[in-house]
Amino acid sequence: MKSRCDKLLKKLAEKNIDAAIITSPINRRYFSGFTGSNGVVIVSAAGRVLLTDFRYTIQANMQCAGICEVRQVDRSISPQLVEAVLNEFGAKVVAFEDAAMTVAEYSGYIKLPFEFVPSSDVICGCRLSKDAHEIAMMQKAQDCADAGFAELLKRAKVGMTEIELRNELDYLMRRFGAEENSFDTIVGSGPNGALCHAYPGQRRIQNGDMVVIDFGARVGGYCSDMTRTIAFGQPCDEMMKIYKIVHEAQLKTLGILRPNMVASELDLCARDYITEHGYGECFGHGLGHGFGLEVHENPYANSRSTELLVPGSTITVEPGIYVEGLGGVRIEDCCVLTEDGFINMCHTTKDLIIL
């Protein structure tokens, strides 16, 4: 954690910023290790302080030992309490999370005698390249997801509702070590598979259905994210054709994935292949996104992206085709870039599974 604060301080110094106030739960955890729901972290070259209330001081002292000084304050953590620390550190120019701070919070801070600089991009940018611990946690999360899915395949059957399938998978991921889901599991069966983010309902899975299952586990605060589309009985010819196209598009895209490429190149690879096969209008979302403490974070791989996929950055590769009234197919792996290639964290086969 200390090295993460040092990384932030280096970025702030390059912009002549004296200190940063960190208020979002995700970044608060990243820079201090604190997982409680209430706190403000102040980082400067003169010191690092976590302000929190009585409910969390024991926890904070355990989690932040050697990283931040913990100071117990009122539950509201008023701007004046933050002001006192900034004055103690001699700060004049202060970075804040403009993408996370509410209007009400901001209206309180701007009354303080400091120059506040919107800096969410700088603060969040520290999380772009994952370290060895983060990668290990994400791999553990993905292993839980893979194991849960493998067991699900033994239990899934025609006649189950989407909700029943979702609940079974959620339980199994926890059984194999997940702390919780990294997001609400998506299950879209038959025509519901055309809903990219289908919310599981009472529809019963029928013979011949393709079922899109998008799911992830969380371990140590870190997320995994994968999608597999499976069949219950023999699907129709068009759905088999669509599966083959999506499968090949994903393999081609993984085949060009490399460090220091522009993220839009990934999107273009999958999109061109799907378009060439007549389904371009049925692939309406971006190719992928980063993941870590959040299931969706930078970088993003879409047609407009100019971001570089640097070593240590994460990216999902998830092309899909969605045909209203018929169904959908999406195949997603979660990957991390290395110095000379990438690691695909997913181990579940992408060959069509027919139950």
pLDDT band at 248 (very low <50, low <70, confident <90, very high): very high
Cβ burial of 286 (10 Å; 0-12, 13-18, 19+) is buried
Query: How many residues are given for the chain?
Result: 355
| pLDDT over threshold 80, residue 18 | yes
In this prediction, residues 58-84 reach a mean pLDDT of 96
Q: At the top level of CATH, which class does the domain 2-125 belong to?
A: alpha beta
Percent of the chain with pLDDT over 90: 99
Q: How many other C-beta atoms are found inside a 10 Å radius of the C-beta of residue 228?
A: 24
* pLDDT tens string 117-171: 999 999 999 999 999 999 999 999 999 999 999 999 999 999 999 999 999 999 9
- pLDDT at residue number 173: 98
In this prediction, residues 245-274 reach a mean pLDDT of 97
- pLDDT at residue number 1: 74
CB 270 within 8 A of CB 246: no
| pLDDT over threshold 90, residue 114 | yes
- pLDDT at residue number 2: 80
Report the candidate in 193, 180, 186 with the shortest Cα–Cα distance to residue 166: 186
- pLDDT at residue number 41: 98
| pLDDT over threshold 80, residue 43 | yes
pLDDT band at 80 (very low <50, low <70, confident <90, very high): very high
Q: Where are the domains of the chain?
A: 2-125, 132-344
| pLDDT over threshold 80, residue 197 | yes
| pLDDT over threshold 90, residue 273 | yes
CB 324 within 8 A of CB 331: no
- pLDDT at residue number 228: 98
| pLDDT over threshold 80, residue 186 | yes
| pLDDT over threshold 90, residue 6 | yes
In this prediction, residues 217-244 reach a mean pLDDT of 98
* pLDDT tens string 314-332: 999 999 999 999 999 999 9
CATH superfamily for 132-344 is: Creatinase/methionine aminopeptidase superfamily (3.90.230.10)
263-276 vs 237-256: helix crossing angle, rounded to 10 = 150
Q: Is 43 left (phi over 0), alpha (psi -120 to 50) or beta?
A: beta
